[in-house]
Structure 1
Amino acid sequence: MIAIGSDHGGFELKQEIMKYLEEKGLEFKDYGCYDCSPCDYPVYAKAVCESILDGESDKGILICGTGLGISMTANRYKGIRAAVCTDCFCAEATRLHNDANILALGGRVVGPGLALKILETFLNTEFSGEERHIRRIEQIELER
């Protein structure tokens, strides 16, 4: 299952993405927000991260105005690797090399057409499993 969440800045793009997921027959759960009223992105980042960490979801999608704030929040959770992607090359690389489990998008940065191509690349790219990438991910996971 895919967990999806956004703040008001990502709400419209989230609607496009959920429509795409439905059309593709992909299971997802919307963790909010549910309209364009101003709200705080950390609330939705937390809900998506907890869904992944609890094993309810395999991957997540987070959207705010730029993708930056919501991804910074998500990356504070041990075991979460959220990547802001603005093109398909980054989406492919972060799955291949970083085994990213959350795609972060900026609703005010990428249009729906490009966002859907980025999402498709993210969802269809498997982690390479190469030892050098595993080693680096383990280093990311180290606590201070």
Structure 2
Amino acid sequence: MTGAGRATVGLAVGAGALLLSVRVLRSRIALIRVTGSSMAPAFADGDRLLVRRTTRVRRGDAVVFRNPLPSAEGDEPLPWLVKRVCALPGDPVPPDVRHAVGAPDGGTVPAGSLVVRGDAARTQDSRHFGYVAESTVLGVVLTRPTTTG
């Protein structure tokens, strides 16, 4: 094989490895843009968040999950929401969430469910829409946001 032939094969192998690396990275990482102010001051409208795709979460993690709220007529629903995990399966149901989930005093979060809250004072979260199914979690926010102005 000539030098030019080896270079062509090398470029093809390198391009294939790069494509595979990009596919692997996309299967593990997502880039999400914040819409709204429910997570202020941590995340602002327009921030971009790097999210590690996983359903394994800890209390205090900011997570991205499928929006459980129906859209208002004429509104396009946000496909994903960002909130902070405040209770995991087996944890006591927070008192301000009990009514929304129908839990008795001393009730615990059921298996496969999470309780989430927004960081802002006014936000739609588990106090309004109840538990979030762990199966709807896209992932955990990895990085501090960068504002895209």
* TM-score (norm. length: structure 1): 0.26
- Which protein is richer in helix relative to its size? 1
Larger RCO, structures 1/2 (Cα 8 Å, 6+ apart): 2
Name the larger-Rg structure.
2
Higher strand share: 2
